[in-house]
Every structure is written in structure tokens, then in C-alpha cells.
């Protein structure tokens, strides 16, 4: 589902990712970890083409990401749900509208949008906050809205960048449980985190990044 | 279609939420359009006056001396075939002399010293308004002059040329003003939409990351520009009509004889003003949203 082959990325001559190669199979849930500045966020950005690789090939759900034309990029992103570290919720919009926007950009019918957004709100346990403005929600609730938005379009791949970074352990557990549920429905999930507790006892595959390269790729 | 309707909804919300900047934009565009349409109304009125002056514009075709009656009839028939000629009147040399005497009045005695009538017989032609183009008239006069039995053709070249110059200058000013106001309106909308676009930069970045196409991102701004221009056009058309009615009322008070002479822009033009405004603003919005890169 996600395939990196000898991928490198530089920022102004400074190397960020060097000769990265790995595969994530369809339906896997994989953790990506490493110290700050190891290149986790950049690696995720390469997957949804917010960054362009300087070398190598990236295949995501059959798309050759590096070769995508500008006008095709939106269609790749519709197949990749993203849980951003800084949430990126639309201000002055309700939880419902924030989730619905992912479907509105695809031009879906209002009835179908209502149905799927309400399902997503149910899944993330925020049905009762449907009409609350995003800025009036707590950090954990905002994170769950972001997850709802990422999953509502039923993407083939879900990426999460430090999804528990700003959450207390109880809320973090709820969020991780949500990712596992999404994964159980067949979505490939890649979670970037520096929180060792999340993956050490998970029994899932973990890719360790250090100094811009893959240090280890293992199941702890 | 769903995306279009959603974009309309967003555009309307944006107009309301950013009411002050949009209000000022609408006001500026309305004033610009009002200036342009007022000038067009003035031009139309001047043009109408010019055409009124031009009614019955005459040309005199002087005949050679000693032409037979048949030749004169042939010339008359040939002239009658010209569709630009409204009226045709034959003036014999005797009638011409009689007219001259009447014009000279008490001083007509100066004609007594002449042994023979020096005035030629002629045809007086009245031409249609539509034919009042200096070059066209000059060519027509030249063609008539080439006919057998014609001594000379005279018409008010300078007068016709002056009228034509006024008309051409007015049209040129209208064109320049039109282009200038088009650019001004497009620029005003460009600035407004650019500001609104930057205010929503974060939101636009998020939409791009969620998979929104360029058209999905741009459409609300284009619709917003279109609506701003359209509303400005409606305000401008209503203001123009009110201004026209007020001017007519005031003019008639001071110059009652002018009643019925002042003309307004046709209804079609009034209907076209909002569309023109919308098109000008849409152009500005199009450039303001620029090229979106992922």
C-alpha cells in the first residue's frame, strides 16, 4: 500500500531523509518513531505530496507520488486521511462542518454527507458536540474531530502525525483505540510518534528513524 | 453542480462576514460604473442632437448651361435611384435668381447691371442621417460630379466634418473611459479578493491538504467577485435612472423647450450594467486568486 524505494529528501543542501526504503502492506498498522528532527513528519508529508522527494520512488495506493501532476495531487489526498499534529480544523465552523468538508470537496450529495458525518461523529463519540464550534472543543475533542474528518471519506491510507502529543494518557488511549478500530475495517494506518508507550506493548511493527535514515524496522 | 451551490453558499457567507470591506468595494465599483454610464448618457444625448442637426443635410448639384430637358430628366432619374437621397428638388436658373433677389432685398439692384442670368440650374438633394459620414459623402459627391451634364457639386464639408469630429471624439473618450473604469473596477475587486484570500490562507492550506481541487478553492472567491460586481451594477443602474429623472426634471424647469429632447440609455443598456459590473469584478477576482500550487 505504501512503498518507499531509496527515497531521499534535502532542505537547502541539508539532508532530512537519506535512502529510505520500506513497505507497508494493505491493512497494516505501523508506528514510525524517532527523536525530534529524525524526519518523521517529512516522511509523512512525502506520502501525501506536501513535499516532493529529491530522489527515489514513492508508491501510495498505486499512485507514483513523485510523478503526480499538480492537478492530480488532490485526488491522491482524497485517498489519504491525515491526522495533523496541529489539528488544522477550520475556525468558526462546527464539528459537523469540519468533518463534512472532506466530503463536500468531493461533491457528494447532502443526504449522503449527513449520513456519513453523523456516523463519523458517532464513531469518535462526539455526536453530542455536532454543532459545537471547533474552537469551543477541548484538545481531545478537537483531535477526535480531526480523526473523524480523516476517516469520513473512507481513505485507503490513514496517516497520523503525533496524534497523542497534546493529550493526557486517558484521551490518548481513546484516540489510539480509534485508530485500531479504523485499521480493523481494513484501512492501512501509519502513526508517527515519539511516545514509546504507544508502540512498545502494541505488538505492531515499528520503524525507527535516526539521523535521517531507518535505524530499525521491527516488532518490539 | 453541488460544488457550485456550496461555493455560492460560502460566497454569500463571506460577503456577510466581511461586510465592511465588501460594502466599500461595492460603493467604489458603483461610483465607477455610474461615472461611465453617466458619460455614456451624455454622449448619447450629444449624438442625438448632432443627428437632429443633420436631418435634411443638403447637397446642391449644379448643372451645365444649355442642357436639354431630356438630359435633365435623365440626371433626375439617376439621382432618384440613390437610396441615400430623401428628397430631390429641381431649381431652374430663373428660380435661383428669384431666390437671390429675395435674399438681397433692397440691395438686389446690384443684379440689374448683369446682362444675363449667371446662375446655373440645379438639383437640391436632402440626404438621410445615416449617410452623414464625411468620407462617404465626399465619395458620393465625386461620383455625382462625374455624371454627364454636372458642372459642380457643393455641400457643407466643414460643417459635416466638425459634427463628425465631435461624434468621434466623444466615442473615443467613451472608449478610453470604459477601458479605464474596467481596469479600475477589476483592480478594486482584485485588491479586495486578495485581502480576503490572504485572510483565509490557513483555511485554504487545510482544504488543499484535504484534497480540494483548485476550482473548489477558487470558486467561492470568483462568485463573491461576481456578486459584488453585480450588486454594484444594480445600484449603479438604479442611481443612473434616478439621476436621469432628476436632471430631466431640473432642465425642464429652466428650459421648458427641452422637454422630450433628452434621451435615456435604452432598457437593454440598463440591464447590461449589472452584467458588465459582474464581468469586470470577476476578472479582478480571477487574477486575485492566482495560480494555486500544491
- Return the higher-pLDDT residue of A30 and B261: A30
Find residue A188's DSSP bridge partners: A157
Three-state secondary structure of chain A: CEEEEEEEEEECCEEEEEEEEEEECCCCEEEEECCCCCCHHHHHHHHCCCCCCCEEEEEECCEEHHHCCHHHHHHHHCCEEEECCCCCCCCCCEHHHHHHHHHHCCCCCHHHHHHHHHHHHHHCCCHHHCCCEHHHCCHHHHHHHHHHHHHHCCCCEEEEECCCCCCCHHHHHHHHHHHHHHHHCCCEEEEECCCHHHHHCCCCEEEEEECCEEEEEECC
For position B56, what pLDDT does the model report?
60
Q: Which residue of A has its CA nearest to B208?
A: A74
Residue B131, pLDDT > 80, answer no
For position A94, what pLDDT does the model report?
96
For position B253, what pLDDT does the model report?
81
The ipTM is 0.91
For position A37, what pLDDT does the model report?
86
Per cent of chain A over pLDDT 70 is 100
DSSP structure class, residue B265: P
Size of interface A-B (CB pairs under 8 A): 56
Residue A197, pLDDT > 90, answer no
Average model confidence (pLDDT) for chain B? Answer: 89
Is residue B48 within 8 A of residue B263, CB to CB? The reply is: yes
- Return the higher-pLDDT residue of B135 and B151: B151
Q: Which residue of A has its CA nearest to B6?
A: A104
Q: Best interface-test mutation with A: which of B10, B208, B209 has the largest number of A CBs within 10 A?
A: B209
Show Cβ contacts of residue B29 under 8 Å, excluding neighbours closer than 6 positions: B185, B188, B189, B228, B229, B232, B233, B236, B277, B280, B281
- Which residue carries 508506528 as its cell? A31
Residue A137, pLDDT > 80, answer yes
Show Cβ contacts of residue A149 under 8 Å, excluding neighbours closer than 6 positions: A81, A98, A99, A101, A102, A120, B210
Residue B55, pLDDT > 70, answer no
CA dist B62 → A89, A133, B94, B101 (Å): 89, 91, 14, 19
Half-sphere exposure of A81 (CA within 13 A, CB side): 29
For residue A81, the chain B residues in CB contact (below 8 A) are: none
Average model confidence (pLDDT) for chain A? Answer: 92
* Angstroms from B278 CA to nearest CA on chain A: 26
For position A129, what pLDDT does the model report?
94
Q: Is A88's CB within 8 Å of B293's CB?
A: no
- Return the higher-pLDDT residue of A168 and B154: B154
Residue B132, pLDDT > 90, answer no
For residue B2, the chain A residues in CB contact (below 8 A) are: 104, 107-110
| Residue range B71-87, pLDDT digits in tens | 999 999 999 999 888 88
Q: Best interface-test mutation with A: which of B199, B201, B210 has the largest number of A CBs within 10 A?
A: B210
As a whole number of angstroms, the distance between CA B219 and CA B10 comes to: 9
Mean pLDDT score, B140-164: 86
Per cent of chain B over pLDDT 90 is 55
For position B266, what pLDDT does the model report?
93
C-alpha cell at A13: 543542501
Confidence (pTM): 0.78
Residue B188, pLDDT > 90, answer yes
* Residue of B142, B171, B182, B137 lying closest to B156 (CA atoms): B137
Mean pLDDT score, B168-183: 90
Find residue B89's DSSP bridge partners: B124
| Residue range B57-74, pLDDT digits in tens | 788 999 998 888 899 999
SS3 B78: helix
For position B168, what pLDDT does the model report?
85
For position B237, what pLDDT does the model report?
97
| Residue range A55-103, pLDDT digits in tens | 999 999 999 999 999 999 999 999 999 999 889 999 889 999 999 999 9
Q: Which residue of B has its CA nearest to A149?
A: B210
Out of B203, B213, B216, whose CB is closest to A90?
A: B203
- For the beta sheet containing A63-64, the strands, ordered from the edge strand earlier in sequence to the opposite edge, are A14-24, A2-11, A55-60, A63-64
For position A155, what pLDDT does the model report?
93
Residue B90, pLDDT > 80, answer yes
Residue A195, pLDDT > 90, answer no
Does A214 touch chain B if contact means CB atoms closer than 8 Å?
no
Residue A8, pLDDT > 80, answer yes
Is residue A118 within 8 A of residue A126, CB to CB? The reply is: no
Amino acid at each position: 500500500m505504501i512503498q518507499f524505494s531509496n527515497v531521499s529528501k534535502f532542505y537547502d543542501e541539508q539532508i532530512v531523509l537519506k535512502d529510505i526504503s520500506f513497505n507497508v502492506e494493505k491493512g497494516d498498522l505501523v508506528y514510525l518513531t524517532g527523536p525530534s528532527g529524525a524526519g518523521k513528519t517529512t516522511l509523512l508529508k512525502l506520502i501525501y505530496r506536501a513535499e516532493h522527494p529529491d530522489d527515489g520512488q514513492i508508491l501510495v495506493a498505486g499512485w507514483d507520488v513523485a510523478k503526480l501532476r499538480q492537478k492530480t495531487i488532490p485526488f491522491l489526498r482524497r485517498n489519504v486521511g491525515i491526522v495533523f499534529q496541529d489539528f488544522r480544523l477550520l475556525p468558526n465552523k462546527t464539528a459537523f462542518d469540519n468533518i463534512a468538508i472532506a466530503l463536500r470537496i468531493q461533491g457528494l450529495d447532502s443526504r449522503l454527507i449527513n449520513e456519513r458525518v453523523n456516523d463519523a461523529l458517532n464513531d469518535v463519540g462526539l455526536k453530542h458536540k455536532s454543532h459545537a464550534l471547533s474552537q469551543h472543543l477541548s484538545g481531545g475533542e478537537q483531535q477526535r474531530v480531526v480523526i473523524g474528518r480523516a476517516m469520513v471519506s473512507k481513505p485507503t491510507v490513514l496517516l497520523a502525525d503525533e496524534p497523542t502529543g497534546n493529550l493526557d494518557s486517558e484521551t490518548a488511549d481513546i484516540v489510539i483505540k480509534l485508530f485500531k478500530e479504523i485499521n480493523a475495517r481494513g484501512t492501512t494506518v501509519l502513526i508517527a510518534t515519539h511516545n514509546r508507550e504507544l508502540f512498545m506493548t502494541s505488538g505492531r511493527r515499528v520503524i525507527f528513524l535516526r539521523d535521517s535514515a531507518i535505524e530499525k524496522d521491527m516488532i518490539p | 453542480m453541488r460544488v457550485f451551490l456550496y461555493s455560492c453558499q460560502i460566497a454569500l457567507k463571506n460577503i456577510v462576514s466581511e461586510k465592511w470591506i465588501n460594502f466599500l468595494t461595492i460603493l467604489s465599483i458603483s461610483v465607477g460604473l455610474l461615472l461611465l454610464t453617466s458619460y455614456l448618457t451624455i454622449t448619447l444625448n450629444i449624438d442625438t442632437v448632432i443627428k437632429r442637426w443633420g436631418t435634411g443635410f443638403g447637397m446642391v448639384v449644379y448643372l451645365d448651361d444649355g442642357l436639354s430637358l431630356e438630359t435633365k430628366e435623365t440626371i433626375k432619374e439617376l439621382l432618384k435611384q440613390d437610396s441615400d437621397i430623401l428628397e430631390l428638388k429641381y431649381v431652374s436658373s430663373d428660380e435661383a435668381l428669384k431666390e437671390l433677389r429675395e435674399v438681397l432685398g433692397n440691395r438686389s439692384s446690384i443684379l440689374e447691371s448683369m446682362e444675363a442670368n449667371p446662375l446655373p440650374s440645379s438639383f437640391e438633394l436632402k440626404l438621410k442621417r445615416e449617410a452623414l459620414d464625411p468620407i462617404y459623402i465626399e465619395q458620393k459627391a465625386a461620383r455625382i460630379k462625374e455624371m454627364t451634364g454636372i458642372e459642380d457639386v457643393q455641400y457643407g464639408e466643414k460643417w459635416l466634418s466638425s459634427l463628425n469630429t465631435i461624434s468621434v471624439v466623444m466615442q473615443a473618450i467613451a472608449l478610453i473611459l470604459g477601458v479605464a473604469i474596467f481596469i479600475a473596477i477589476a483592480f478594486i475587486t482584485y485588491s479586495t479578493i486578495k485581502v480576503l484570500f490572504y485572510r483565509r490562507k490557513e483555511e485554504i492550506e487545510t482544504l488543499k491538504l484535504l484534497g480540494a481541487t483548485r476550482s473548489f478553492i477558487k470558486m467561492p472567491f470568483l462568485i463573491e467577485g461576481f456578486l459584488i460586481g453585480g450588486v454594484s451594477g444594480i445600484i449603479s443602474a438604479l442611481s443612473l435612472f434616478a439621476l436621469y429623472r432628476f436632471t430631466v426634471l431640473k432642465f425642464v424647469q429652466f428650459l421648458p423647450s427641452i422637454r422630450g429632447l433628452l434621451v435615456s440609455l435604452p432598457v437593454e443598456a440598463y440591464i447590461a450594467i449589472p452584467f458588465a459590473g459582474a464581468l469586470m469584478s470577476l476578472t479582478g477576482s480571477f487574477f486575485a486568486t492566482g495560480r494555486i500550487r500544491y
